[in-house]
Amino acid sequence: MGTGDALTLLALTPRETEQAFERLGARPFHARIARAQVFEHGALDYAAMSALPKELRARLAEELPIASGSEVDRRVAADGTTKLLLRFPGAKAVDVETVHLPPSTSGKAATLCVSSQAGCPVGCPFCASGLLGLARNLESAEILEQYVRGRALGALSRSVVMGMGEPLLNYERLARALDVVHDEMGLGARAITVSTVGFPDRLRRIAPTKPRFQLAISLHTPDQEQRDLLVPAMRGVPLAEIVAAADDWFEQTGREVTYEYALLGGCNDSAGHAERLARLLARRRASVNLIPWNPVESAESSPWKRPDEAGVERFRSTLAARGIVATVRWSKGVEADAACGQLRLRHAAPAS
Residues that bind ligand SF4 (CB under 6 A): 120, 122-124, 127, 129-130, 164-166, 197, 340
Count of residues making up the chain: 352
Judged by CB, which is closer to ligand SF4: 52, or 169? 169
Q: Backbone phi, then psi, for 287, in 5-degree steps?
A: -130, 170
Question: What is the closest distance, in whole angstroms, from the C-beta atom of residue 118 to ligand SF4 in the complex?
Answer: 11
Q: How many other C-beta atoms are found inside a 10 Å radius of the C-beta of residue 266?
A: 11
- Which of 97, 139, 145, 166 is catalytic? The answer is 97
The three-class DSSP label of residue 305 is strand
- Which of 120, 127, 267, 340 is catalytic? The answer is 340
**Cβ-proximal residue to ligand SF4, closest one:** 130
Judged by CB, which is closer to ligand SF4: 123, or 292? 123
Question: What is the closest distance, in whole angstroms, from the C-beta atom of residue 71 to ligand SF4 in the complex?
Answer: 21
127 is catalytic: no
How far, in Å, CA of 228 to CA of 223, rounded? 9
How far, in Å, CA of 84 to CA of 97, rounded? 6
Nearest to 153 by CA among 113, 192, 188: 113
120 is catalytic: no
Question: What is the closest distance, in whole angstroms, from the C-beta atom of residue 261 to ligand SF4 in the complex?
Answer: 12
How far, in Å, CA of 80 to CA of 105, rounded? 7
Question: What is the closest distance, in whole angstroms, from the C-beta atom of residue 164 to ligand SF4 in the complex?
Answer: 5
How far, in Å, CA of 175 to CA of 285, rounded? 25
Question: What is the closest distance, in whole angstroms, from the C-beta atom of residue 115 to ligand SF4 in the complex?
Answer: 8
Judged by CB, which is closer to ligand SF4: 130, or 222? 130
**Nearest 10 degrees: Cα torsion 204, 205, 206, 209:** 110
Judged by CB, which is closer to ligand SF4: 127, or 181? 127
Q: Are 87 and 95 in contact (CB under 8 A)?
A: yes
Judged by CB, which is closer to ligand SF4: 164, or 345? 164
- Direct distance between the N- and C-terminal alpha carbons of the chain, in angstroms, rounded to an integer: 41
Nearest to 171 by CA among 233, 215, 234: 215
Note every long-range contact of 72-75, with CB atoms under 8 Å and residues 24 or more positions apart, other chains counting: 72/347, 73/343, 73/347, 75/336, 75/337, 75/343
Question: What is the closest distance, in whole angstroms, from the C-beta atom of residue 339 to ligand SF4 in the complex?
Answer: 10
For the chain, helix, strand, coil in percent to 5 are 45, 20, 40
Judged by CB, which is closer to ligand SF4: 21, or 126? 126
Residues with active-site annotation = 97, 340
